[in-house]
Structure 1
Amino acid sequence: MTSEFKLILVDPIEDLCHEWRQKFARIEAVSVVNGYFEEIAEYDCMVSAGNSFGLMDGGVALAIVRYFGLELMDRVQDYIIQHFRGEQPVGTSFIVSTGHPNHPFLAHTPTMRVPMSIAQTDNVYRAMWATLLAVWHHNQIQKQKIRIIACPGLGTATGRVPFHRAAKHMALAGRGDDPMESLLGSESRLTMVEKESV
């Protein structure tokens, strides 16, 4: 993952945090917090991993709306309507303003089209990679940079992805010193995911 920004992985479930610590052990730009994102004092961008329609009415997405305000969900849905004709594909991510002075950005990154199990898919990898790319692109063109990302477990609740698998796929998306580096390699990242899947 690029050294331009740091990643805080945050979740109240210790078993998931344990898997994160194991899988991200060699990535210095990542830290793990066993708790709630509301307790983190410093981050620039919160990741919301929901559905393709921007319905933030459950789980972490609902907690995000309660923290930042209902206007944030309206902003997310307006973006989806304007840029994706109402349905944001899995494997994409976009950055919007939260209006919060200390945590100014949200990365909306669906892990599923609608609430469903994604345990047998590579959606977690695709979502994590899309998030990192969205932040990277944001930092290339925007004056106000994203330096610290707060990210919950992807696909581990409604998506029913086992903790070890979710952590493995999230870590795979974060490998490398530059987020574009492995796109230039002889072996695709997706192939690597398939080889490491369990």
Structure 2
Amino acid sequence: MSVEAVQSSLRVVLTDLNTDVVEAWRAAFADTPGIEIRNGSILDEDVDAWVTPTNSKGLMDGGVDAVIKRHLGAGIQLRVQRAIRDRFAGSLPVGSAVCVRSGAVKPRFLISTPTMESSSENVSETLNVALACAAAFQAVHQQNREEPGSIRSVALVGMGARTGRVPARVCANLMWTGHTLFQDFRFEDYEHLRGTIVAQLEDIENAPAESRVRIAPPESPSCRR
């Protein structure tokens, strides 16, 4: 199956224990087809990949990270940190992600994407949620480019809504931005993805909380529809 086919048919599950986040998703994604929204634990989702919000060092010591590490075993943190060391010289920038084998049958993959540089950082007044969500989907693109059809379904939680203290409605709208960017475009590298998002969302703090922003990247060899 081609990257484009997987992109259009990817099953996306949004799941969280926070009912405010779930209701905010229902509002933000109301007109977005192909999204499943649930009030529950990501551990219950039978998908090919789980997405976990992390920190730049891949220390899975809090929030969803810690829950997943307890479930999959301590080895998952070692795999995440090895990937960060090998691909990003030991520090994963916000707006980047790593995809590693989970060691389990379901999910087969774990995608780690930082919403913050260090643990328990307040990111409520940043673009980090949009950057992290877009990076997670970029990781899906890259994995499917390397192994076509290897990720056909993915589950995400409310990024930054707990540890990062991002308001539920803001979290949902920024995740909508990240998802629509995945549907519309794919990038060859994370640097161009980050630059595109920051350039178009830098004044979003002046917009109403219910605002959604659809990014339209300029034509570039490193950005394709």
Report the TM-score, using the length of structure 1 for normalisation. 0.89
1:51 corresponds to 2:64: no
Distance 2:182 2:82 in 1: 34
Question: Aligned residue pairs: how many?
Answer: 193
Sort the Cα spacing of 1:9 and 1:52 in 2 relative to 1 into closer, same or farther, 3 A: same
1:159 corresponds to 2:164: yes
Alignment match, 1:20? 25
SS of aligned partner of 1:16:
helix
Distance 1:178 1:7 in 2: 11
Q: Aligned match of 1:87 in 86, 91, 108?
A: 91
1:102 corresponds to 2:111: no
Asked if the contact 1:3–1:177 (Cα under 8 Å) also holds between the matched residues in 2, the reply is: no
User: What residue ranges of structure 2 are gaps of 5+ in the alignment?
Assistant: 1-5, 188-195, 210-225
Residues 92-143 of structure 1 deviation map (CA, whole Å, 9 limit, x = unaligned): 0121000111210010100100021011100000001111111012112214
Identity across matched positions, percent = 32
Superposed structure 1 runs of 4+ greater than 2 Å apart? 176-179, 192-198
Residues 29-63 of structure 1 deviation map (CA, whole Å, 9 limit, x = unaligned): 211110111222x2000011010001001111011
Residues 56-99 of structure 1 deviation map (CA, whole Å, 9 limit, x = unaligned): 01111011011111111111111111221211111001210001
Report the TM-score, using the length of structure 2 for normalisation. 0.79
1:68 corresponds to 2:72: yes
> C-alpha root-mean-square deviation of aligned residues, in Å?
2.2
Sort the Cα spacing of 1:7 and 1:162 in 2 relative to 1 into closer, same or farther, 3 A: same
User: What residue ranges of structure 1 are gaps of 5+ in the alignment?
Assistant: 183-187
Aligned residue identity for 1:124: V
Aligned ranges for residues 97-136 of structure 1 at < 5 Å? 97-115=101-119, 116-136=121-141
